Amino acid sequence: MSVLAFLIPVALGMGGAGLVLFFWAMRDGQFDDLDGAAHRILIDDEDDVA
């Protein structure tokens, strides 16, 4: 039983961390343009454009 007192908070903490990370990513606009992100990696940086 005592191991549960340790494991359950760990499980919840990891899940919670994932949730917080997802909220941050969404607020930061990480999911705004999924296709674009996949393609942008292919663009050569000629100069500093927008």
Partner 1 sequence: MNAPAVLSPRPMAGPAPSPVADTRLTVPGMRCAGCIAKIERGLVALDGVGEARVNLSARRVAVRHDDTLDPARLIAALRDLGFEAQVVGDTGVCADRTRGGADGEMRRLLRALAVAGFGMMNVMLLSISVWSGADGATRDVFHWLSAMIALPVLAYSGRVFFASAAGALRRGRTNMDVPISIGIVLAAALSLYETATGGAHAYFDGVVMLLFFLLAGRALDEGMRGRTRAGIGALLSRMGRDAGVIQADGSVRRMKAGELEPGMVMLVAAGEALAADGVVEGGSAMLDNAMLTGESAPEHAAPGARVHAGAINMHAPIRVRITGTGDDTAIAEIARLMDEAGQSRSRYVRISERAARIYAPAVHTLAALAFAGWMIAGAGWHQSLTIAIAVLIITCPCAIGLAVPAAQVVTTGALIRRGLLIKDGSALERLAEIDMVFLDKTGTLTLGELRADIAGLDGDAGAIALALAQASRHPLSIGLARALTAAGVVPAAVGAIVEREGVGVTGRHDGVFVALERPSTDGCDGPCVQLRIGADTHAIRFSDRPRGDVEATLDALRAMKLEPRILSGDSRAAVDAMAQTLRIPGEGGADPAHKLAILNDAKAQGRRPLMVGDGLNDGPALAAAHAAIAPGTASDASQQAADAVFTGERLFPVALAIAAARRTMRIVRQNLALAVCYNVAAVPLALMGRVTPLVAAIAMSTSSLIVVANALRLARVPRLPGGAAT
Minimum distance, C-beta of residue 14 to partner 1, in the bound complex (Å): 10
Residues 42, 43, 48, 50: is their CA dihedral positive or negative? negative
Minimum distance, C-beta of residue 6 to partner 1, in the bound complex (Å): 14
Q: Where are the beta strands (DSSP E) in 1-50?
A: none
Minimum distance, C-beta of residue 33 to partner 1, in the bound complex (Å): 4
Please give the Cα distance from 50 to 32 (Å, whole number).
17
Instruction: Give the binding site for partner 1 (CB under 8 A).
Output: 1, 8, 11-12, 15-16, 18-19, 22-23, 26, 29, 31-36, 39-44, 46, 49-50
Reading the block at residue 24, the tokens are 């941050």
